[in-house]
Amino acid sequence: MGPGHPESPQRLGAIADHLIATGLDHLLEHHEAVNAVFEAIVTSVAKGNRVTVVGFGTFLPRTRKARSGRSPVNGKEIKICAKTIPAFAAGQGFREAVDKN
C-alpha cells in the first residue's frame, strides 16, 4: 500500500490531523466504527461464513472450481487452481434504490 492509497498510514494521519484542526475530530470515532464493521465482515467471510446486512445485501465466500485457461503472454494452456473469492449479493432494497432512474 503506497503513500497515495486512501488507507495508507500517511493519508489516514493527514485526514486525522485535518479533522482535529477543524474541530471535527468526533468523526474519527465514526471512521473507527465503520472500519470495525468492515473488518468483522472480512474476518467472518474469510472463515467461510455469510454476513447479511438487512436491507443492504449479503457478503459471502464463493468457491471457483479449478479450470484450464490460456496464458496471455504466450497463449499456452495453463491450469488455474480452485480458490475461494469474496462475493456480494445486493439486497432487494439496495437493488430497488439503484434501479430508480
Percentage of the chain modeled with pLDDT above 90: 51
Domain ranges of the chain: 1-47, 49-101
Residues 6+ apart with CB under 8 A from 73: none
Cell numbers standing for residue 85 = 473469492
Q: Is the pLDDT of residue 8 over 50?
A: no
Residues 6+ apart with CB under 8 A from 16: 25, 28
Whole-angstrom distance, CA of residue 40 vs CA of residue 50: 12
Q: Contact, 25 vs 19, CB < 8 A?
A: yes
- The CATH topology of domain 49-101 is HU Protein; Chain A (4.10.520)
- Which band of pLDDT confidence, cut at 50, 70 and 90, is reported for residue 11? low
Q: What is the predicted pLDDT for the residue at 34?
A: 79
| Residue count of the chain | 101
Q: Count, in order, helices (H) and strands (E) of the chain.
A: 3, 5
